[in-house]
Amino acid sequence: MNELLERAPVDQWKSYLRAQVVSRSAERLSKPFRDNQFEFDKQISGNTAQKPRWKTAVADVNTAMGEAMGELYVQEAFDPAAKDRAQQLVRHVLDALKVRIENVDWMSPETKQKALDKWSELVPKIGYPDTWRDWSGLQISRGDYFGNLAAADKFNHAYDLAKIGKTSDRTQWAMTPQTVNAYYNPSDNTINFPAAILQAPFFDPNADDALNFGGIGSVIGHEATHGFDDQGSQFDGKGNNVNWWTPADSEQFAARTEKLVDQFDGYTPIPGRPDLHVNGNLTLGENIADLGGVNASYDALKAALDSDPGAAEEKIDGYTPGQRFFLNYARVWREKTRDEAMITQLGSDPHAPSDLRVNGVVPNVPGFGESFDCPPGSPLVHE
């Protein structure tokens, strides 16, 4: 960048920056701009058709005023009973995670206590913010699509800048209620589950525990485990970027995670392209979270079944609770991806391909082999 600032003529910089402004604004402009942008996008995504204009418009409003739309979504589509049940599941999975931390046999008492301290300060947020954001001051008008979105960009930028120098607010969300996703924030040690993910197949308040622990339970465990993965472990319970590991424990952690790196480095997910591998280092944090999440949630299911021995033997649709757990875990990751998009993902996405978030994870989970009575040497059961 510094070299280009000195070497490239000013007119080239003007042309480049002008092109960037047009490219970033293309979806907000007239059809020729959108068509041109799509021709570029489809080369890296494999998409064959543009979204209908109304979907683009809704997506733009969702980006510009997401929490305002979220307030309407919660009023219309979110059952308060789902929040109560989800809070119970969070508690069960977090309790199971605590037990797993306590039982780690390679970690020193000093580091383990710091890990438990961090666990105790973890804050779960379910559904939507306690206080909705105030949108007064954002000026919009009918008939000015581009101008309205530009005004929202400026308004939201000022909103973010105003946080500088102020104490962090752990009640604020970085994701809207209508987003089917979840996240862990290392800078405030919170796990966040928007309202929209609290629906099937991830979660059904009327379903049996096995399905819910396999779905949303694994997501809960995934996000909580992020607090202790290769990146989250660099922050303490208050969100400070400090090292709370002893050198010996750090070495032990690195040696164990390297096995997961090697495992995923060996996957070639695109048929006919043995040269394209998953990047085990790039995906390490998510792979750790997937593995820890499934283990913690499965432990939570077993604890729930232990309190009701009859339920442990009960089959639904011919499947045991353990089998239903893993079947639903697999179901939430069903997805189709074009080869062009997969190539882009392998080079840039910290998540492994969806099928490997199942078939690359369950071989490392003892409960999977136990649930399906897999004999030694089975492809999906690692020693």
- Asked if residue 153 belongs to a domain, the reply is no
Q: Kindly provide the residue ranges of all beta strands, DSSP E only, lying in 120-187, ordered along the sequence.
A: 123-127, 183-185
Question: Among the residues of 121-198, which ranges form H helices?
Answer: 145-161
Q: How high is the pLDDT of residue 53?
A: 87
Residues 23 and 129 in one domain: no
Prior bond of 309 cis (ω within 30°): no
Q: Residue 311 pLDDT > 90, yes or no?
A: no
Instruction: Say whether 341 sits in a helix, a strand or coil.
Output: helix
- In this predicted structure, which of 92-96, 148-152, 312-316 has the lowest mean pLDDT? 312-316
- The percentage of residues in the chain with a pLDDT greater than 90, rounded to a whole number, is 87
Q: Which long-range contacts (CB under 8 A, 24 or more apart) does 202-207 make?
A: 202/332, 203/82, 203/85, 203/86, 203/89, 205/79, 205/81, 205/82, 205/85
The structure's pTM equals 0.92
Handedness of CA 135, 140, 145, 150 (dihedral sign): negative
pLDDT digits (tens, 9 = 90+) for 81-124: 889 999 999 999 999 999 999 999 999 999 999 999 999 999 99
Per the structure, the count of domains in the chain is: 2
Which of 32, 64, 96 is a domain's end point?
64
- Distance (Å, whole) CA 87 – CA 240: 26
- Among 67, 71, 209, 223, which one carries the catalytic annotation? 223
> pLDDT tens digits for 199-243?
999 999 889 999 999 999 999 999 999 999 999 999 999 999 999
Q: Is residue 346 part of a domain?
A: yes
Distances (CA, A) of 290 to 179, 284, 354: 20, 10, 11
| pLDDT confidence of residue 179 | 97
Helical H segments across the chain, by residue range: 2-7, 10-25, 31-45, 53-64, 66-77, 80-102, 109-120, 145-161, 209-212, 218-225, 247-265, 284-306, 309-313, 321-331, 339-348, 356-359, 366-371
Whose tokens are 């280092």? That residue is 281
My answer on whether 25 and 59 are in the same domain is yes
What average pLDDT does the chain have? 95
- State the residue for tokens 């004999």: 375
Inter-residue contact 189 to 227 (CB < 8 Å)? yes
Model confidence band, residue 317 (pLDDT cutoffs 50, 70, 90): very high
User: d(Cα 249, Cα 110) in Å, to the nearest integer?
Assistant: 10
Lowest mean pLDDT of 39-53, 107-121, 255-269, name the range.
Answer: 39-53
Rounded CA separation 118/228 (Å):
9
Please tell me which residue, 100 or 44, carries the higher pLDDT value: 100
Residue 141 lies in a domain: no
Whether 143 maps to a domain, the answer reads no
Among 27, 67, 236, 290, the one annotated catalytic: 290
Is residue 171 located within the same domain as residue 59?
no
The pLDDT, as a whole number, for residue 45 is 87
- The per-residue pLDDT for 210 is 96
Judge whether 290 counts as a catalytic residue: yes
pLDDT at 375 over 80: yes
**Residue 272 DSSP code:** T
Report which of 57, 77, 337, 71 is spatially closest to residue 197, judged by C-alpha positions: 77
349 is catalytic: no
190 and 282 housed in the same domain = yes
Would residue 206 count as lying in a domain? Answer: yes
Domain harbouring 224, CATH code: 3.40.390.10
What is the model's pLDDT at position 168?
A: 83
* Total length of the chain: 383
83 and 57 part of one domain: no
pLDDT at 308: 82
pLDDT at 313 over 80: no
- List beta partners, residue 190: 123, 185
Nearest one of 190, 262, 183, 205 to 89, comparing CA atoms: 205
Query: In this structure, are 306 and 208 located in the same domain?
Result: yes
Residues 232 and 300 in one domain: yes
The stretch 26-35 carries a mean pLDDT of 91
Q: Does a structural domain hold residue 192? A: yes
Clarify whether residues 46 and 91 are in a common domain.
no
What pLDDT sits at residue 15?
97
Indicate whether 191 belongs to any domain.
yes
Domain match, 54 and 178 both: no
Residue 294 and residue 325: Cα distance in Å, rounded?
Answer: 10
Structural domain including 342 reads 77-133+167-371
CA quadruple 132, 138, 141, 145: dihedral, nearest 10: -90
pLDDT at 256 over 80: yes
Residue 377 in any domain: the answer is no
Taking CA atoms, 227 is separated from 69, 108, 130, 158, 179, in Å, by: 29, 18, 23, 30, 21
pLDDT of residue 228: 97
User: 238 and 304 share a domain?
Assistant: yes
Instruction: Judge if 299 and 193 occupy the same domain.
Output: yes
Number of other residues whose CB lies within 10 A of the CB of residue 25: 14
| More confident of the two residues 81 and 297 | 297
Confirm if 233 and 249 have CB atoms less than 8 A apart. no
54 and 86 co-located in one domain: no
